[in-house]
Chains A and B, each alone.
Chain A
Amino acid sequence: MNTVIVRPERCVGCLQCRLACAVEHSRTKSLAAAIHEDLRPRPRLRVYPGRQRLAFPSKCRHCAPAPCQQVCIAGAIYRDEDRGAVDIDPHRCINCAMCAMACPFGVLTYAPLFQAPEKRAVALKCDQCPAREQVGRVPACVEACKVGALTYGQWQAAQDAKGRAVAQAFFASLPSAEETTAFLPLSIRRWRQLG
């Protein structure tokens, strides 16, 4: 399953992803029109201060098994078997906040949604842009990210690449072969210096 991969060390906190996400989840899907909609569309990922107060983008990881899905008392949270993404049915959601207690990443927000106008608020989180996925486009936040903090791909591949990068960085930090010299007794070194 392809998923959005977050590289927090690259994030500069520009919040373009939040804007793109809100627009993608609006009725009109255009920024100029979305800001005039009755129910202002809400972004489904957050960027907040992490370690050393650096920007940290946080979004749904589509866990398997998903704790939010297991505790949902309304049966509103389900896994889309074809896409692998965990999604919320706004017509079933009762805004009970059980999922907020279950999610260790704090990705859920509660706000009104145009698909379910009769509800005061429903649980919102990343749905990995199903409309875009259908036509082979990457999620809106990934498209918006200019610094490569959000990419789209297999998480296993990303993990492997990260592992290789760490290993390379580790070996690069070791003294290089040229610098390393075998131990020679002082007398021989002096004799060689005489040239």
Chain B
Amino acid sequence: MSRYVIIGASAAGLGAAEVIRPRDPKSSVTLISDEAYRPYSRPLLTYLLSGEVQPEKVWLRAPDYFQKWGLETILGDKVVQVDAGAREVRLASGRVAPYDGLLIASGARPRLPGIPGEDLPMVFTLRTLADWRRLDACLPEAGVVTVVGAGAVGLKAAEALTRRGLTVNLLEMGPHPLPQLLDPFSARLLQDALAGWGIRLHCHTRPLAVIADRGRVRGLALDDNREIPTDAVIFAVGVEPNVEFLAGAGLTESGGVVVDDYLQTADPLIYAAGDCVFPHHLLTGRRGAYQIWPAAVEQGRIAGANLTGARVRYRGLLPQNSISLRDFHLITGGLGPQETGDCEVSEELDEARGQYRRLAFKQGRLVGVTLVGDIGDAGIYFAIMANHLPVDQLAADPRAFPPETVEHIQALIKWGKKPVRVIETPVYEYA
């Protein structure tokens, strides 16, 4: 009888457990988490903040989930060391969990920028349920909140706070929100939406210090010599993998667990999946920190299968992000605008409907997608990208403009207008 131990009970850990259980019904599967409750959805925390989701709906699995699946759990206990020689996981309470197969799915935790005052009481991050409880309890005292970092979490947190009637500042180091993902056109659509909800966006700025008055946060000093008054600060400037317990094991490099194409580490009994891993990009093959939920689930399922003797190759991670704020929907995938310099790019902007589509092609293959507004077909684009399909053999070549658009461009040329980028897209909705 094999003993499988999974460190972490979120997306990747659950994905693995649910594959291991049917593949090896006689085995024992133990999930270890430092959080003392059943699995919940981290991406939902910002929705809790806005009140769109009630706290009882944050749980991802039923209360009897672990019993039903026959999974053992060690909850509320922290892993302090993985002893690969003795095949044991040591926990903070002194407990020891021996394993025959180990999955590291320990995830990541929010990074802090390392500035003075970030340990003050009204300074927050938002990653765990405990973070949310603290933030939710303290928010009634605040009138102005500053969110540092306009990434996926920062944007959603800022939007959620405006729903609670708070004044929100949003700081971003780059030239626009999501600088890695957006081109200037989609960034402008997003910025218009943010301004419409009353979010004060400050780009090209970094905080230098949290200013406090007798232990209470009073403001934030910025690198352009400004000081913005604020009652609370939320840092959403990225995450770093939880890998301290692997110190000295030789399994990590530059802060993440190193895995091969089969998600196996240097130790053949140890696999890793999820945010603690730096997986390779499906299109470029470069390793990087992506930390996205669907990839964690997929990696967990593959690592789980491989732990039980399968040999499934992980094809790589196709970066994909969905930003949904009220009526604004944005999906990006594949290569970002900085990486598509040598690509054939087709951009269509329909300002009246608030829709935008940007497709990047390289050697007849789709390599990057940005969709704003009409996002229902995102999965088709992603499937085309992930399978490297030649676009000229698809049912409709996405590079070819529909005939109506061609006429429109010709009309624009006739009128002496420059027909670049701004195109009225015809509607193929037979509603």
CB of A98 within 8 A of CB of B322, answer yes
CB of B379 within 8 A of CB of A103, answer yes
Interface flag for A75 (CB, 8 Å): yes
CB of A101 within 8 A of CB of B333, answer yes
Shortest Cβ distance from residue B29 to the other chain A in the assembled complex, whole angstroms: 18
Question: Chain A: how many interface residues by the 8 Å CB criterion?
Answer: 37
CB of B331 within 8 A of CB of A102, answer no
Interface flag for B376 (CB, 8 Å): yes
A residues 43-95 with Cβ under 8 Å of B?
Answer: 43, 47-51, 53, 56, 67, 70-71, 73-75, 91-92, 94-95
Question: Chain B: how many interface residues by the 8 Å CB criterion?
Answer: 37
Interface flag for B324 (CB, 8 Å): yes
Q: How far is the CA of A15 from the CA of B396 in the complex (A)?
A: 20
Interface flag for A25 (CB, 8 Å): no
Do A70 and B294 form a contact, CB below 8 Å, given A47-B430, A104-B382, A104-B383? yes
Q: How far is the CA of A193 from the CA of B232 in the complex (A)?
A: 106
CB of B380 within 8 A of CB of A105, answer yes
Contacts of B57 in A (CB 8 A): 74-75, 91-92
Interface flag for B53 (CB, 8 Å): yes
CB of B376 within 8 A of CB of A15, answer no
> Is the contact region of chain A dominated by helix, strand, or loop, or is it mixed?
loop
Interface flag for B185 (CB, 8 Å): no
CB of A100 within 8 A of CB of B430, answer no
Interface flag for B60 (CB, 8 Å): yes
Interface flag for B241 (CB, 8 Å): no
Kindly identify which residue among A18, A42, A97 contacts B324, using a CB–CB cutoff of 8 Å: A97
Contacts of A47 in B (CB 8 A): 430
Q: Mark B61-85, 1 if CB is under 8 A from A, else 0.
A: 1000000000000000000000000
Contacts of B320 in A (CB 8 A): 101
Interface flag for A96 (CB, 8 Å): yes
Do A97 and B331 form a contact, CB below 8 Å, given A48-B428, A70-B15, A70-B297? yes
Q: Mark A28-39, 1 if CB is under 8 A from B, else 0.
A: 000000000000
Interface flag for B212 (CB, 8 Å): no
Interface flag for A108 (CB, 8 Å): yes
Kindly identify which residue among B59, B377, B396, B430 contacts A106, using a CB–CB cutoff of 8 Å: B377
Q: Write the chain B residue with the least CB distance to A42.
A: B431
Shortest Cβ distance from residue A190 to the other chain B in the assembled complex, whole angstroms: 53
Interface flag for B41 (CB, 8 Å): yes
CB of A101 within 8 A of CB of B322, answer yes
Interface flag for B327 (CB, 8 Å): yes
CB of A94 within 8 A of CB of B294, answer no
Kindly identify which residue among A43, A50, A100 contacts B378, using a CB–CB cutoff of 8 Å: A100
Interface flag for B132 (CB, 8 Å): no
CB of B379 within 8 A of CB of A71, answer no
CB of B378 within 8 A of CB of A97, answer yes
Interface flag for A120 (CB, 8 Å): yes
Interface flag for B409 (CB, 8 Å): no
Shortest Cβ distance from residue A57 to the other chain B in the assembled complex, whole angstroms: 12
Q: Write the chain B residue with the least CB distance to A96.
A: B324
Do A94 and B378 form a contact, CB below 8 Å, given A47-B430, A73-B43, A102-B294? no
Interface flag for B375 (CB, 8 Å): yes
Q: Write the chain A residue with the least CB distance to B329.
A: A97
CB of A105 within 8 A of CB of B428, answer no
Contacts of B383 in A (CB 8 A): 104
Interface flag for A109 (CB, 8 Å): yes
Q: How far is the CA of A156 from the CA of B298 in the complex (A)?
A: 27
Interface flag for A114 (CB, 8 Å): no
CB of B376 within 8 A of CB of A75, answer no
Q: How far is the CA of A147 from the CA of B294 in the complex (A)?
A: 39
CB of A110 within 8 A of CB of B376, answer yes
Shortest Cβ distance from residue A112 to the other chain B in the assembled complex, whole angstroms: 11
Contacts of B297 in A (CB 8 A): 70-71
Do A74 and B324 form a contact, CB below 8 Å, given A97-B375, A98-B293, A106-B377? no
Q: Write the chain B residue with the least CB distance to A49.
A: B396
CB of A106 within 8 A of CB of B324, answer no
Contacts of A43 in B (CB 8 A): 431
Interface flag for B44 (CB, 8 Å): yes
Do A102 and B376 form a contact, CB below 8 Å, given A73-B293, A74-B41? no
Contacts of A18 in B (CB 8 A): 430
Binding site for A on B (CB under 8 A): 15, 41, 43-44, 47, 52-53, 57, 59-61, 293-294, 297-298, 301, 320, 322, 324, 326-327, 329, 331, 333, 375-380, 382-383, 395-396, 428, 430-431
Inter-chain pairs besides A67-B379, A73-B43, A106-B379, 14 sampled, C-beta below 8 Å: A43-B431, A49-B396, A56-B395, A70-B301, A71-B294, A75-B60, A75-B61, A94-B324, A96-B322, A100-B322, A104-B379, A104-B382, A104-B383, A120-B327
- Ordered by A's residue number, 19 sampled pairs between the chains whose C-beta atoms are within 8 Å are A18-B430, A49-B395, A49-B396, A70-B15, A71-B293, A71-B294, A73-B41, A74-B41, A97-B322, A97-B324, A97-B329, A98-B293, A98-B322, A100-B377, A100-B378, A100-B379, A101-B320, A102-B379, A104-B380
Interface pairs A-B: 6 shortest CB-CB: A104-B383, A103-B379, A71-B294, A73-B43, A106-B380, A106-B377
